Amino acid sequence: MRFSKTAAVAGFAGLASAQTYTSCNPTTNSSCPSDTGLDKSSYSVDFTAGESSDWTLSSSSASYSSSTGAALTITESGNAPTLISNFYIFFGRVSVLMRASPGTGIVSSIVLESDDLDEVDWEWIGGVDDQVQTDYFGKGNTTAYDRGTYVNLDSGTQSDFRNYTLVWTSASTTWYLDGEVVRTLTYAEALNGKNYPQTPMQIKVGSWAGGDSSNAEGTIEWAGGETDYSDGPFTMYVKSIEIENYNPGASYTYGDMTGDYTSIVVSGSSSSDDSSSSTSTSTATKSTKTSSTKTSATTVSKATSTAKASTGGSSSESSSNGTSTSSSSSNSTTTSASSTASSSTVNVSGASSIAGQVSMWAASALLAVAVFNL
């Protein structure tokens, strides 16, 4: 079936608003602390074996099962159970094996987010079992909501575990569903890179009630309607998460206030897959995937990676470095980081798309507030 990337002008105004924020934006504050990095190139966590000290659970609690992994449950207003990595990655692959939560107004999400509000998302609306949404933001820029896509599926997301993978490089970001490409975003398409997500990201997997009565009307409508908590509990399940970190390091530091990935300093990189790290310091490269070394530092010119990206048309959005919260969000070990599929229309099995519905409440959605602070 055919998948077509279609902008949703207003329909994504509530995306991941419960999980996106920054405590210190390095593009406006030069004294922000360094980010704790994942100091190995390969990492995985199996939640069927129980909780992990590498992840912090925010808001409410979780239970763990050998068959379904982490159960993230919403029972009342204010619940927004979210697994947050205690580390950041700097370009890489993130694969999550999960089941989305049912329930009117309930939103399940996978969010990659940086301190300067670069963001890449998967989103599921609880009232729509056979659909997933994709979106991205750069530097917290919410001047337009036409970056999102809807993907219709041949089977549901709430009863079966499915693999959702993001392959994020300096040249492009690709969304895979059970190993099939459903979207590719190039550096050039994101306002010629100005709004391209490119700084170290933390990983957040969880759910929240977009339909909570305290939210803005636009957010409630986007989430599918007002949530009736007496219909719950509403549970999202996360079995496992697998990560490749293309620039492993003990820490990531913004070398200046540009928010450009070439300014990121990687310290304590490791050349092996174990948890040890060395004392080297390097500057991020522009290549699609980098291999780290213990002693060398590599810098690739900006032109190198930009040439790899498509020169597709730019978005209608404007550039912004604001600090406001952006209102977004198969075992794919064989997934290729470089896809030849077009970012506008590709053929995949088991997925199709619908046009984003343009709502009249776009202005009110801009005022949507987060239901909790992580």
The catalytic site residues sit at 119, 123
230 Cβ neighbours under 8 A, 6+ residues apart = none
CA–CA distance, 229 with 227 (Å, rounded to integer) = 6
Q: How many residues does the chain have?
A: 374
- Annotate 352-372 with three-state secondary structure: ECCCCCCCCCHHHHCCCCCCC
1 Cβ neighbours under 8 A, 6+ residues apart = 154, 347, 348, 349, 350, 351, 352
CA–CA distance, 207 with 198 (Å, rounded to integer) = 25
DSSP-based three-state secondary structure for 77:
coil
Cβ neighbours, 10 Å, residue 211 = 26
Q: Do 218 and 17 form a contact (C-beta atoms < 8 A)?
A: no
The amino acid occupying position 96 is V
| Residue in the block written with tokens 């105004």 | 13
CA–CA distance, 345 with 66 (Å, rounded to integer) = 39
